[in-house]
Amino acid sequence: MLKHFLKHVTIVAGGTALSQSLLILAAPLLTRLYTPTAFGNFAVFMAILSLLLVVISLRYEMAIPLAKTTEEATHLLNLALTLVILITLLLGGIFWYINANLSHLINLKDFPNLIWLLLGLLSAGSYQALKYFGNRHQLFHLVSLTQIGQAFSQVLLQLGLGWLSLGSLGLTMGYVIAQFIGLLGWFKPVNRLLAPLHWQATWQVAKTYQHFPRYTLWASWLNVLGWQLPALLFATYFPLTVAGWYALTMRVLAMPSALVGQAVAQVFYPQAAQLESNQEAIANLLEKVATSLLLLGLPVFGLLFIQGDFLFKLFFGADWEMAGRYAEWLAPWFMTAFISSPLSSFALVKSRQRQAFWLSVYETGLRLVALSIGICWDSPPLAIQLFATAGVIISGIYLSWVFHLAHTNIWPWLARLKWVILINLTVLTSLSWLETTLTPWPYFALSVTALGISGGWFITKELKNYQPPGSKIPKPGRC
């Protein structure tokens, strides 16, 4: 079981790694073609798009891996794609009727035209539904190939349009067109798997899985709102460059999650759905995945925590040094979210959508309070620091809850890993004290070496000595 799980994760992670690497490798060029203000406009566009994508198919696409038969999965896919088209047309009609465009609605200059938002919804909404259908049928290689095609197309388009000095419109057009390109690879493989369509059966699955639009939709929307609130509020209350710095920071910090976390989530969700009735296997899988994510994330986010400003200035230019400071403040949150986010889909497997919704309400409220304090004090750094603190609290609650759903406990898992956590924290603290005594390059080399050795040692030893839940906890000396 675990062997196949890791194989599928490797396939998805490989494609995701290559696609995200293309986007990150292009970032130093993009930051020299586009200003922080252009990135700020694009960040607001992506925030609005992300919020609407949650409702574009009423979250029925997330029910596809849970379908009991291929026919049922086909009807769910048909339902999701139909909703994408209808809701996109409905939104277009509403905006056309009130004769509005986004630049007037949110009072930003040089903001992309409304048509690009509608095209983005149509393309990205269709892609996410097809991706869930592909995951159900274990077409993980196709997921990887289409993601690579999207990333390659987006990079080429954004670089070319940036050279033409199109500003934020170039970033937007590059993203939207790339989403359509990603759709092309799905039509032939998915068509072979589709069962005959019957609208009556499609309506029946809509009723069967109605808890997705009733609970999962709103929980997901609140979760995305919590992530996208900073870009929207920063663009409203602070100079647009703040939103641009924040957007680049999120793009870089999200890379480990995109490389590994999303790949784990895409494989973990259907795998957990299949093993839902086997309590011991679920608990074992959950602990193994959480341990692996912790050990992979500590050195990566640890380096960003102590070297963010140096790395951003080096790779993206002097205009983006402040974004590196943002990265240092946000790194602890991304470290905890790196573990909790891929595992949070287990709540869907256990049909705990209602509880997930109320957790999302609490999450969004806490983030809003954190940002509001920073805005009231007219301090972007304070807003981001409090936002990161709220994120750490929320990720810890989610992770503890997921362990509880698997009928196990988070504390024995943390106790088994206490030496791993303690030694890594000691390394980070020691490196932080040395920052003022060393020049930038020697300090950077020492940081990479220390964190690399520490991380590599524990990844090797801890996974080698891993014991399933219920077995004797290894003594600290064995770590």
Show the tokens assigned to 151.
């990333």
Q: How far apart are CA 358 and CA 223, in angstroms?
A: 11
Q: What are phi and psi of 15, to 5 degrees?
A: -65, -40
Task: Please count the other Cβ atoms lying within 10 Å of the Cβ belonging to residue 400.
Answer: 14
Residue with tokens 């490389």: 259
Residue with tokens 């004290």: 433
DSSP secondary structure letter of residue 194: P
Show the tokens assigned to 164.
């033409």
- Confidence band (pLDDT; 50, 70, 90) for 266? low
CB 349 within 8 A of CB 273: yes
Helices and strands of the chain, counted as H and E runs: 21, 0
Q: How many CA atoms lie within 13 A of 422 on its CB side?
A: 8
Lowest mean pLDDT segment, chosen from 45-54, 216-225, 467-476: 467-476
CB 262 within 8 A of CB 403: no
Asked if pLDDT for residue 5 goes beyond 60, the answer is no
Mean pLDDT of 152-174: 92
Stronger pLDDT, 138 or 170, i.e. the higher one = 170
Asked if pLDDT for residue 159 goes beyond 90, the answer is yes
- Confidence band (pLDDT; 50, 70, 90) for 258? low
Q: What is the tens place of the pLDDT at every residue in 101-123?
A: 555 555 566 666 788 999 999 99
Question: What is the number of residues in the chain?
Answer: 479
Q: How far apart are CA 293 and CA 54, in angstroms?
A: 26
Q: What is the tens place of the pLDDT at every residue in 287-310?
A: 888 888 888 888 889 999 999 999
DSSP code per residue over 361-385 = HHHHHHHHHHHHHHHHTT-HHHHHH
Q: What is the tens place of the pLDDT at every residue in 323-360?
A: 999 999 999 999 998 888 888 878 777 777 778 778 88
Question: Rounded mean pLDDT of the chain?
Answer: 83
Lowest mean pLDDT segment, chosen from 14-18, 288-292, 411-415: 14-18
Mean pLDDT of 48-64: 92
What integer pLDDT is reported at residue 13 of this predicted model?
62
Rg (CA), the chain: 22
Q: What is the tens place of the pLDDT at every residue in 420-455?
A: 888 888 988 898 888 878 888 898 899 889 888 887
Coil, helix or strand at residue 111: coil
Stronger pLDDT, 95 or 82, i.e. the higher one = 82
Q: How far is CA 130 from CA 9, 138, 170, in A?
A: 18, 12, 27
Show the tokens assigned to 386.
């409090």
Mean pLDDT of 236-245: 89
- Confidence band (pLDDT; 50, 70, 90) for 222? confident
Rounded to the nearest angstrom, the gap between the alpha carbon of residue 341 and the centroid of all alpha carbons in its chain is: 8
Coil, helix or strand at residue 350: coil
Q: What residue type is assigned to position 400 of the chain? A: S
DSSP code per residue over 258-299 = IIIIHHHHHHHHHHHHHTTT-HHHHHHHHHHHHHHHHHHHHH
Q: What residue type is assigned to position 349 of the chain? A: V
Coil, helix or strand at residue 469: coil
With both helix axes pointing from N to C terminus, report the angle between 240-256 and 321-343 in degrees, rounded to the nearest 10.
50
CB 253 within 8 A of CB 325: no
Q: How far apart are CA 90 and CA 94, in angstroms?
A: 6
Lowest mean pLDDT segment, chosen from 26-40, 117-131, 197-211, 370-384: 197-211
Evaluate the CA torsion angle 304, 310, 311, 316 in order and state its sign. Answer: positive
Stronger pLDDT, 402 or 125, i.e. the higher one = 125
What integer pLDDT is reported at residue 7 of this predicted model?
60
Asked if pLDDT for residue 6 goes beyond 60, the answer is no
CB 356 within 8 A of CB 323: no
What integer pLDDT is reported at residue 465 of this predicted model?
57
What integer pLDDT is reported at residue 9 of this predicted model?
60
Asked if pLDDT for residue 183 goes beyond 50, the answer is yes
What integer pLDDT is reported at residue 102 of this predicted model?
58
Mean pLDDT of 52-70: 90
Q: What angle do CA 307, 313, 314 make, to 5 degrees?
A: 85
